[in-house]
Structure 1
Amino acid sequence: MPKFAANLSMMYPELPFLDRFDAAAKDGFRAVEYLFPYAFAPAEIVARLQANGLQQVLFNSPPGGTDAASIARAWDQAGDKGTACQPGREAEFRAGVALALDYAQALGCPRIHAMAGLIPPGLTREAVQATYVDNLRWAAVEAAKQGVDVLIEPINTRDIPRFFLNRQDHAHEILAEVGAPNLKVQMDLYHCQIVEGDVAMKLRQYLPTGRVGHLQIAGVPERHEPDIGELNYGYLFGVIDEVAQQCGWDGWIGGEYRPRLGAQPGGTRSGLGWFAPWR
């Protein structure tokens, strides 16, 4: 049966971040993910996880920066979306991954997403791929020392223009080039539908490889609840369940969507009809 994690960066936006753990647990989630934990001390997050019986299953390495203040500036002001593909920022990337692994160890989180970043102006995807591969190879080695997986995520260029990694086949080519068993793909079906479509067949193609470490979902095109939009998630959940039983895939599915009712009180809870059969 599919296992779902609440994405606390997008869900429950009417609540302060640390209060979202309690809300997710009350709504039946057993795990959480989010973009970044760095604005909070690990102990604060651990306390919320333990109080609510939640697993931490994923978060991102820093988009840029090396401490809480510079990480916030990188995301909120500079528009950074990761540094892994950017020549000249290798030391910043490595410091960010080291910080993420410290948090992963404290939170008991088995995987981190190393954000690829934007292709720098004047450069091509082909020109920066060697930097990306070298950075990922280093990150995978460091993460393996803690038993942590490093994930890479194809993201559509409508939401994030010039993002380095956009397609599932390219992501799996990168895995082969890096050659690290703990480097895996974060397969977001929202992004996959926008860029490629044919989502059910891609699930059937890639889940059995053992190289998909995590799934994420949202409605297309507005990125609201998964039961709003052009994707039939009821059908796709059945595909995931069928393939998982055949190949032993046991990953989590993160609800990385913006509730249709936004920050209205109870807006997230009122939109959890899609989740009811799987609680």
Structure 2
Amino acid sequence: MPKFAANLTMMFADRPFLERFKAAADAGFRYVEYLWPYDYPAAELKALLDKHGLKQVLFNSAAGDTKNGEWGLTALPGRESEARRDIDQALEYAIALECPTVHIMAGVVPAGADRNAYLNTYIDNVRYASERFRPHGIHIVLEALSPQVKPNYLLKSQYDTLAAVEAIDRDNVRIQFDYYHAQNVDGQLSAMTKAMFARIGHIQIASVPDRHEPDEGEVNYPYIFALLDELGYAGYIGCEYNPRGKTEDGLGWLAAYREK
């Protein structure tokens, strides 16, 4: 049975962020994820998790200066000290929130830049993160972002992410397999799921093409969920989608999968 996590960055967005924890619990979720925790003290977020009986399962390392196009610093040559500062900050939050997995954001490769230089920087910095996170039993995941969502992001395809994970070669570094991005770029979802399964550390979902609830569009999610059960996936599935309307009104798809 899949373990679904409400993505509090995108879901329940009709209320302030700190009120979304209660909304997720009231809607029947036991797990949550979101992009970044750093605007709030870790102790405040942990108190909300505990109050509402929730487990934090994922968040990202810091994105950098998003207003000027940054989307992660970990792959940026010359920015290693900042990237490692962000990695250390993410570790502090993961420990405090008892979060088992952190997505280490890569970054955008400017047009005309040497992608290999960015990739090599990413590999070195993620290896640093791996060694910092390992004593705490915390896993790292890497994610591909489709070009229509984040142009020129270092990792565009699930195959890019797989190659990076294999090059980093650390057992606590895995793939964050987002079916929305995967379908937009790669297709052949069931074949990729089977081929990459041993490397997958976290999953996210949304409909394609509109990035809404997983009960519409071109991806057959009931088939995907059954496949993941068949393969023995024991991790979490983040609901990283933009609700069509009020979040609660679009959760009919979840009824068949609620944990008893």
For the criterion TM > 0.5, the same-fold answer is yes
Aligned equivalent of 1:275: 254
- Counterpart among 208, 217, 232 of residue 229 in structure 1: 217
Q: Distance in 2 between matches of 1:150 and 1:234?
A: 27
- Counterpart among 164, 184, 192 of residue 194 in structure 1: 184
Deviation at residue 81 of structure 1 after TM alignment: 0.8
Contact 1:217/1:257 (8 A) holds in 2: yes
Aligned equivalent of 1:162: 152
Deviation at residue 203 of structure 1 after TM alignment: 1.2
Q: Distance in 1 between matches of 2:229 and 2:137?
A: 26
Q: Distance in 2 between matches of 1:53 and 1:170?
A: 36
- Counterpart among 248, 252, 255 of residue 236 in structure 2: 252
Q: Which amino acid in 1 is paired with 2:208? A: V
Contact 2:77/2:117 (8 A) holds in 1: no
Aligned equivalent of 1:31: 31
Q: Distance in 1 between matches of 2:214 and 2:69?
A: 27
Deviation at residue 252 of structure 1 after TM alignment: 0.2
Alignment of 1:1-279 (within 5 A): 1-64=1-64, 74-75=65-66, 77-207=67-197, 209=198, 211-244=199-232, 249-261=233-245, 267-279=246-258
What do the CA deviations read for 1:121-176 (whole angstroms, capped 9, x no partner)?
43132232111111111111111122111110011011110000012222122122
The 1:105/1:123 distance shift into structure 2, 3 A limit, reads same
Q: Distance in 1 between matches of 2:221 and 2:50?
A: 31
Contact 2:102/2:140 (8 A) holds in 1: yes
Deviation at residue 54 of structure 1 after TM alignment: 0.5
Aligned equivalent of 1:71: none
Q: Distance in 2 between matches of 1:108 and 1:216?
A: 20
Contact 1:113/1:153 (8 A) holds in 2: yes
What do the CA deviations read for 1:32-80 (whole angstroms, capped 9, x no partner)?
000000010111111110011110000000012xxxxxxxxx23x2231
Q: Distance in 2 between matches of 1:127 and 1:103?
A: 29
Q: Distance in 1 between matches of 2:22 and 2:118?
A: 42
Contact 1:86/1:120 (8 A) holds in 2: no
Q: Which amino acid in 1 is paired with 2:146? A: N
Deviation at residue 115 of structure 1 after TM alignment: 0.5
Q: Distance in 2 between matches of 1:160 and 1:124?
A: 18
What do the CA deviations read for 1:73-95 (whole angstroms, capped 9, x no partner)?
x23x2231111111011111000
Contact 1:37/1:59 (8 A) holds in 2: yes
Deviant stretches of 4+, over 6 Å: none
Q: Which amino acid in 2 is paired with 1:256? A: E
Contact 2:6/2:240 (8 A) holds in 1: yes
Q: Distance in 1 between matches of 2:173 and 2:216?
A: 32
Helix, strand or coil for the counterpart of 1:92? helix
TM-score in terms of structure 2 length: 0.96
Q: Which amino acid in 2 is paired with 1:17? A: F
Contact 1:190/1:220 (8 A) holds in 2: yes
Paired residues, what number?
A: 258
Q: Percent identity?
A: 46
Q: Which amino acid in 1 is paired with 2:230? A: E
Q: Distance in 2 between matches of 1:276 and 1:110?
A: 26
Q: Which amino acid in 2 is paired with 1:242? A: E
Contact 1:137/1:180 (8 A) holds in 2: yes
Contact 1:36/1:62 (8 A) holds in 2: yes
Aligned equivalent of 1:70: none
